[in-house]
Amino acid sequence: MVVVFEVLSPTSGRTDRIIKLRKYRAIGTIGCYVILEHNSVGLTVFTRRGEGQDWIARALTVEDILQLPEIGLEIPVAELYENVDLPETETAAPTPMPDQPGLR
C-alpha cells in the first residue's frame, strides 16, 4: 500500500482536498492520503479498504496519534510539527458559566 503525505500551502487547499483526492482514488495502490495543515497543527487522514472504494476521513489534532499500521507508522501528531513556526493565534478568555465565581 502506498501512503501519500501532502503539506498544504496557502494556495493549494482546494487542489489537495478535492482534485488530488479524486485523482488518488483512481490509483489503486494508494490506500492512504494524509493532508497536513500549514498554519495550524492538524491532519486530515483519508483511508480506504481497497481499490475503487470510497475514502474514509478522520481529522487529527495535536493530542492525537497518527496510526498507520499498514506501513508500521505510529507517531504523535505534535511530533510532525516540532520545530515548525506556526502563525500565532489569539486565544479568547473562557466565558464564565453562571455557577462560576465572577459572574453575577
Give the residue carrying C-alpha cell 493565534.
Answer: 89
Cell of 88: 500565532
Q: Does some domain include residue 58?
A: yes
Q: Which whole number is the average pLDDT over 11-25? A: 90
> 11: domain CATH number?
3.90.1570.10
pLDDT, averaged across the chain: 85
Q: Which domain holds residue 27?
A: 2-80
Residue 33 near residue 24 (C-beta atoms within 8 A): yes
Q: Does some domain include residue 88?
A: no
Q: Does some domain include residue 53?
A: yes
Which pTM was predicted?
A: 0.79
Q: Does some domain include residue 49?
A: yes
Q: Please report which confidence band the pLDDT of residue 52 belongs to, taking 50, 70 and 90 as the band edges.
A: confident
Q: What is the pLDDT of residue 33?
A: 95
| Burial bucket for residue 42 (CB in 10 Å: 0-12, 13-18, 19+) | middle
Q: Does some domain include residue 103?
A: no
Percent of the chain with pLDDT over 90: 56
pLDDT value at 95 more than 50: no
pLDDT value at 58 more than 70: yes
Give the residue carrying C-alpha cell 487547499.
Answer: 13
pLDDT value at 45 more than 70: yes
Q: Does some domain include residue 28?
A: yes
Number of domains into which the chain is organized: 1
Q: Does some domain include residue 54?
A: yes
Q: Does some domain include residue 21?
A: yes
